[in-house]
Amino acid sequence: MTLQDGSTERYYSWQSRDPVHLAAEERPRQLMGLYEALCHGLRIEAGREPEFSAPARLTGEPVFELSPDYRARWTLLGGAGGAVGSAILVLSDRPARFANGDEPLSYGRPCTCGRGHASFRLTRNEIVQLLAKDELKLYCIMCDQMPKVTEEEKALIKKHI
Ligand SMILES: [Zn+2]
């Protein structure tokens, strides 16, 4: 899963999504300012609620940031509300929590890469806002490219929101 951090692309995954154990584990790093954006992405992508967990007694599956070549991984540390802390970011077994009526809109179509489906990583309210600005984008779960949203698809999506 990619996240745009200014001009830098950052990469994240977890064991049930990718064979992250193949990457060499480095020292954990503080998550800091990306807390909100990463948790939002994880809720949509994994459908599970992220949380910080004490390293000695993990309450879920650790989330790793990966180096751009996927050869290194590290866990992300933080505390309540994204502050500096010593707890590890994990995906709990609880379903992701979204604001009332703002759940992710289910939509996908095959990507041109042929390996995965392209989908939105957005909630209903975000889709409405981006449609209005004509900035709606799709992302492929496998290649992370952005297949273009066609006019026909936009019309279809507008009908369903
Ligand atoms: Zn693709």
pLDDT tens-digit readout, 112-151 = 888 888 887 788 888 899 989 988 888 887 787 888 888 9
Q: Is residue 100 part of a domain?
A: no
Residues 77, 121, single domain; the answer is no
> Which residues are within 8 A (CB) of 74 and not within 5 positions of it... i.e. 6 or more apart?
25, 26, 27, 28, 29, 64, 65
142 alpha carbon – ligand 1 mean position (Å): 5
Over range 20-24, report the average pLDDT: 96
Residues 91, 124, single domain; the answer is no
Residues 70, 129, single domain; the answer is no
22 falls in which pLDDT band (50, 70, 90)?
very high
Range of the domain at 123: 108-160
Q: Is residue 73 part of a domain?
A: yes
Residues 89, 118, single domain; the answer is no
Residues 25, 81, single domain; the answer is yes
pTM for this entry: 0.76
Domain termination residue (choose one: 63, 95, 127): 95
- Residue indicated by tokens 């790093």: 29
Residues 87, 112, single domain; the answer is no
34 alpha carbon – ligand 1 mean position (Å): 25
Torsion of Cα atoms, 127 then 98 then 146 then 115, to 10°: -130
159 alpha carbon – ligand 1 mean position (Å): 26
Residues 73, 42, single domain; the answer is yes
Tens digits of per-residue pLDDT, 31-69?
Answer: 988 898 899 889 988 989 999 999 999 999 999 999 999
Q: Which of 134, 136, 111 is CA-nearest to residue 124?
A: 136
3-class DSSP state for residue 76?
A: strand
Cβ 37 vs Cβ 9: under 8 Å: no
Domain termination residue (choose one: 46, 64, 95): 95
110 alpha carbon – ligand 1 mean position (Å): 8
Q: Is residue 54 part of a domain?
A: yes
pLDDT at 39: 92
The dihedral built from the CA positions of residue 133, 139, 144 and 150, taken in this order, carries a sign that is negative
